[in-house]
Structure 1
Amino acid sequence: MNGLALAAAAVTVVLWASAFVSIRSSVGHFGPGALAFGRLLAGAVVLGVVLVVRGGGLPPRRAWPGILTSGVLWFGGYMVALNWGEREVDAGTAAMIVNVGPVLVALLGGWLLKEGFPLRLLAGIAVSFLGAVVVGLSMSGGGTSSFGGVLLCLLAAVAYAAGVVSQKPALAYATPLQVTAFGCLIGALVCLPFAGQLVSQVAEAPLSATLNVVYLGVFPTALAFSTWAYALSRTTAGKMGASTYAVPGLVVLMSWIFLGEVPGWLTLFGGLLCLGGVAVSRMRTRARTGRRPAAAEAAASGPAADEGRPTADLGG
């Protein structure tokens, strides 16, 4: 992965971590579906404007199966399930369960996308997952989580993994901006039944909570999902999934700074393990001759690449 793709992945991780802090400030004022719809609506508006200004147009037909699947499962289902799950379980337990997602991404990517199972990737996943478990246990609040909440967080992890793996093939035919914009729009349509609830809750919520919803739509959704798609189009789904293990460590730091929640030493140790696992998965091996994985060749030689997509251009 080149420097620009690595920077894009870093932006994604930081903004997704900030989303946890923002959600904590809003979840008491908005229902799970209303919060997801408001976030996706704001993101779809921003991405739609950018797409029109740039003349992005409609994605090619062959990209639509991946866009539809990721839009329904990741943009729509994941956000509703996670918001709902976090109303039933504490943040540490939710983070631990949701971080099963990157493991599922790596396994599904290795199987369905023929990305393989590099030893360094598997080692990094093991270290980071251990860190996520440590963070979750250190913040679990004595095991008071509800069984229903645990299932909802697990459902969110599965939806996230399936969405990432379905998005990867679409990026061989459409630009990152097209994939993100239409995926976000589809997610908003899936959450449209919650529109009435959002309107009524906006009328009662403080301005700060409503601004948090807008922030979630513009930055952790519109911007972060775009930088994610850009980086994903230039690396494997497994490596991108492993990158998100940095999120729990950053959430701990942000919660410490912005919410005044001072983490214990065990939590800090777990966060460092998460970051360490990402570092292991990113270690370069000695250059070897031979062909690249089929999924990487498809992304590099697909129609989007043939159209001369600039490497520094998030939209195309």
Structure 2
Amino acid sequence: MDKRALLAAGVTVTLWASAFVAIRSAGHHYDPGALALGRLLAGSAVLGLILLVRREDLPPRAAWPGIAAAGVLWFGVYMVALNWGEQHVDAGTAAMVVNIGPIVIAVLGGLLLNEGFPVRLLAGMVVSFAGAIVVGVSMSDEGRASVLGVLLCLLAALTYGAGVVCQKPALRHASALQVTAFGCMFGAVACLPFSGQLLARVAEAPASATLNMLYLGVFPTALAFTTWAYALARTTAGRMGATTYVVPALVVLMSWAVLGEVPGWLTLAGGVLCLAGVGVSRSRGRTTPPARPEAAVTPAAPGGPTR
């Protein structure tokens, strides 16, 4: 991955981490489907405007299946399931279950995209997933988890992983902006049944909650999903999935800075494990330099040295 793609991935995980703080606030006043729809409508409006300004054409026909599938699965079902799941389980439990997503990406990428199963990638994911479990356990509130909440978070993880794998082939035919913009629009269409809830909540919710919903649409959705697609087009789905294990560590730091939630040592240790695993997954093994060709041996002159 080149430096620009690495920077794009960094923007993505930072904004996705900030989304957890915004969702926590907006989720108190918006139903899961209404929050997802409002977020996707805001994201679609921003991305559509950028498409018009840049005068980009419609994606080629070959890209549409991947765009539509990723839009419905990742932008639509994933967001509703995650919002709903977090109403039944605490944030720590949700983080643990949703972090199955990168593993789903690695498995499906190896099977369906012929990316294989690099040893360092798998080892790094094991380390990062262990870190995510530590963070989740340290942040969990006993007694709040429910079977429905866990199943909803599991659905979110599965649709997240499947959506990324569907998105990867589309990026061979269309730009990152096209794939993100039209995927977001497909997700918004899939969430239209929640329009009544959204209209009702907008009239009742405080301005801060609505602003958080708009923030989710503009930055963690429109901007972060575009930078994600840009980076994904330049590396494997498995490696990009492993990169998202930085998010739990960033959430811990942001909660500390923004919400004043001082993390315990166990939480910090889990965050360090997450970062260490990402480092392992993105590292490359040492390559043995090619042997230097032996110098040609020339016959020695009579009485002279050999070389």
Which of the five TM-score ranges fits, normalised by the shorter chain?
over 0.9
**CA deviations over 1:132-182 (Å, ceiling 9, x no partner):** 011111111125300000000000000000000000000000110000000
Please name the residue that 2:243 is paired with: 243
1:260 CA drift (Å): 1.4
**CA deviations over 1:19-54 (Å, ceiling 9, x no partner):** 000001110100000000000000000000001111
State whether structure 2 residue 260 is matched by structure 1 residue 231: no
1:239 CA drift (Å): 0.3
Q: What does residue range 174-193 of structure 1 map to in structure 2 within 5 Å?
A: 174-193=174-193
Change over 3 Å in CA distance of 1:222–1:25 after alignment to 2: same
In 1, the alpha carbon distance for the partners of 2:143 and 2:280 equals: 31
The code of the aligned residue for 2:186 comes to I
1:284 CA drift (Å): 2.3
Q: What does residue range 63-74 of structure 1 map to in structure 2 within 5 Å?
A: 63-74=63-74
Please name the residue that 2:91 is paired with: 91
Q: What does residue range 106-185 of structure 1 map to in structure 2 within 5 Å?
A: 106-185=106-185
TM-score in terms of structure 1 length: 0.90
The code of the aligned residue for 1:211 comes to L
In 2, the alpha carbon distance for the partners of 1:25 and 1:287 equals: 49
SS in 2 for 1:87: coil
Please name the residue that 1:271 is paired with: 271
Between the aligned residues of both structures, percent identity stands at 71
Deviates more, 1:253-262 or 1:231-240: 253-262
1:111 CA drift (Å): 0.8
Please name the residue that 2:198 is paired with: 198
In 2, the alpha carbon distance for the partners of 1:204 and 1:170 equals: 40
In 1, the alpha carbon distance for the partners of 2:144 and 2:186 equals: 35
The code of the aligned residue for 1:53 comes to V
State whether structure 2 residue 35 is matched by structure 1 residue 11: no
In 2, the alpha carbon distance for the partners of 1:93 and 1:120 equals: 27
In 2, the alpha carbon distance for the partners of 1:268 and 1:260 equals: 15
SS in 2 for 1:278: helix
1:259 CA drift (Å): 1.0
Change over 3 Å in CA distance of 1:287–1:54 after alignment to 2: farther
In 1, the alpha carbon distance for the partners of 2:73 and 2:266 equals: 33
Change over 3 Å in CA distance of 1:66–1:270 after alignment to 2: same
Change over 3 Å in CA distance of 1:228–1:288 after alignment to 2: farther
Q: Are the aligned partners of 2:34 and 2:197 in contact in 1 as well (CA < 8 Å)? A: yes
In 2, the alpha carbon distance for the partners of 1:82 and 1:53 equals: 33
Please name the residue that 1:207 is paired with: 207
1:262 CA drift (Å): 1.2
In 2, the alpha carbon distance for the partners of 1:155 and 1:93 equals: 14
Q: How many residues align?
A: 289
In 2, the alpha carbon distance for the partners of 1:261 and 1:204 equals: 28
State whether structure 2 residue 67 is matched by structure 1 residue 75: no
TM-score in terms of structure 2 length: 0.93
In 2, the alpha carbon distance for the partners of 1:148 and 1:238 equals: 28
In 2, the alpha carbon distance for the partners of 1:154 and 1:260 equals: 29
In 1, the alpha carbon distance for the partners of 2:209 and 2:82 equals: 18
SS in 1 for 2:87: helix
**CA deviations over 1:245-273 (Å, ceiling 9, x no partner):** 00011001111111111111101100110
How big is the alpha-carbon RMSD for the aligned residues of Structure 1 and Structure 2?
Answer: 1.1
Q: Are the aligned partners of 2:88 and 2:144 in contact in 1 as well (CA < 8 Å)? A: no
Please name the residue that 1:299 is paired with: none
Please name the residue that 1:259 is paired with: 259
In 1, the alpha carbon distance for the partners of 2:284 and 2:125 equals: 15
Change over 3 Å in CA distance of 1:59–1:260 after alignment to 2: same
Stretches of structure 1 lacking an aligned partner (at least 5 in a row): 290-316
The code of the aligned residue for 1:280 comes to V
The code of the aligned residue for 1:91 comes to A
In 2, the alpha carbon distance for the partners of 1:115 and 1:273 equals: 25
Please name the residue that 1:31 is paired with: 31
Q: Are the aligned partners of 2:40 and 2:188 in contact in 1 as well (CA < 8 Å)? A: yes
State whether structure 2 residue 59 is matched by structure 1 residue 59: yes
In 1, the alpha carbon distance for the partners of 2:121 and 2:255 equals: 29
Please name the residue that 2:283 is paired with: 283
Stretches of structure 2 lacking an aligned partner (at least 5 in a row): 290-307
In 2, the alpha carbon distance for the partners of 1:199 and 1:275 equals: 41
Larger radius of gyration: 2
